[in-house]
Amino acid sequence: MLFNDIVLYFIVLYCNVLYCVVLVLYCVVLYLYIYIALLAVRTNEKRFQCGRPREKRAVLRERKEALGSPSMSPSASLTLAI
């Protein structure tokens, strides 16, 4: 009878340890999932932030072209754009 109790004790102990390992792995995966999601959001914010100066430069370039630049002819600006 004592042997059966010891075996049962080790089986329960093994199940508890296995449960804890699975729980820790689940927490690690959840942490990585949240970290990657937040990193993607931050990357998108940086990308949109970088787009604004580019749009501003385009607007300034259009204004400059509308005023006309004496140093460059319109055909020269087309060859540079290509």
pTM of the model: 0.47
- Looking at residue 66, its pLDDT comes to 81
In the chain, the N- to C-terminal Cα span, in Å, equals: 90
Q: Which residue spans within the chain are E strands per DSSP?
A: none
- Looking at residue 79, its pLDDT comes to 52
- Looking at residue 5, its pLDDT comes to 85
- Looking at residue 29, its pLDDT comes to 96
- Looking at residue 75, its pLDDT comes to 53
Per-residue pLDDT of the chain (82 residues; tens, 9 = 90+): 687 888 888 899 999 999 999 999 999 999 999 999 888 887 776 666 555 666 777 777 888 888 875 555 555 555 554 5
**Residues 48, 46: Cα–Cα separation, whole Å:** 5
Structure tokens at 78: 């087309």
Write down the residue that tokens 């060859």 correspond to. Answer: 79
- Looking at residue 6, its pLDDT comes to 87
